[in-house]
Amino acid sequence: MKQFINVYDVLTPEMQHTGTAINNMVGAALAYKAHPLKDQHLGKNLRIGMLFLNPSLRTRLSTQVAAANLGMESIVFNVDKEGWALEFEEGAIMSGNTVEHIKDAAPILGSYFDVLAIRTFPSLKNREDDYSELYINQFIRRYAGVPVISLESATLHPLQSLTDIITIQEDLLRKVGTAQKKPKVVLTWAPHVKPLPQCVANSFAQWVNAWGEADFVITHPEDYALDTQFTNGATITHNQTEALQDADYVYVKNWSTYHDYGKVYENDPAWMLTNERLALTNNAKVMHCLPVRRNVELSDEILDGPNSLVTTEAGNRVWAAQAVLANILQTLKQG
């Protein structure tokens, strides 16, 4: 792999099917979970620069742990708090608050590191800019030759989605011996107090559709339709009760509106998952990427209950990051 920005980056020329490529990544991640230090020389004398334009707990720390497991040095730069305010607009007259143009900063960062990783968020103001991935694409273009890993971009969160499939697959493997059928995986919208990006939901939909090993249903209030480029292939319903019937996995996430971009239209608390609603499912496991607003997005009784996979899921972020980094390091070593 030369970059990790979306699900199609896991496809190699010899692989026809993205599902096979995803399963290979899942296998690599679970092998690292069993033996974290088995490739501790792979990243020796190599350095990853991790740039954050937004806050993070899991993405930052899990990627640093993954890099350390591979013997790689990681340097974190909280651009939003410690760096000069960056300008991304071509031809900008920089008489406002921005101090340094990405054109000047990016090649320098590219010369300091062997691999670069960056987290940006969407503005949620201009859909065209956000969905053209203005920021991360500028980094990729200007760092010619240095692999770039997305730590979440304006529209996608691939390290989270790989983790989510690892977590489902790992849970399914525990059930060996029981009758195997395609699991029913439901992505459900949940209420929140402020407008959030669509990244996690878009990305989860993109990965589960590309994986092709789940009966995949998305449920949300009518105004919260996601971009069809990510959801095509899933069954979509505005009836959460119907969606939850016989579900094996329920992935809970809030997102703001996509069509009338970045708005919160309604926050009907009835969309929050409770044990009463969970009773509709096939004793489903519940997932969330975290951070979560307790008793707004998800109830305490679910988060603290036996069906919650959220802590396992967050723990698996290390193995997803390690599998991705190892794949990129192998590509670097092959020249």
* Binding stretches for ligand CP (CB under 6 A): 56-59, 152, 160, 289-291
Least distance (Å) between residue 320 CB and ligand CP: 11
- Helix, strand, coil shares of the chain, percent, nearest 5, are 40, 15, 40
- Beta carbon nearer to ligand CP, 65 or 290: 290
**Residue 104 CB partners (closer than 8 Å, separation 6+):** none
Least distance (Å) between residue 56 CB and ligand CP: 3
294 forms beta bridges with 298
Cβ atoms 161, 7 nearer than 8 A: yes
Least distance (Å) between residue 55 CB and ligand CP: 7
The dihedral sign for the CA sequence 137, 138, 142, 143: negative
Least distance (Å) between residue 288 CB and ligand CP: 9
Compute CA distances 66 → 62, 198, 279, whole Å: 6, 26, 37
- Beta carbon nearer to ligand CP, 163 or 281: 163
- Beta carbon nearer to ligand CP, 218 or 310: 310
- Beta carbon nearer to ligand CP, 233 or 291: 291
- Beta carbon nearer to ligand CP, 185 or 244: 185
- Beta carbon nearer to ligand CP, 278 or 310: 310
Backbone φ and ψ of 232, nearest 5°: -55, 130
Least distance (Å) between residue 89 CB and ligand CP: 26
The DSSP secondary structure of 86-140, one letter per residue, reads EE-STT----SS--EEHHHHHHHHHHH-SEEEEE----SS-HHHHHTTHHHHHHH
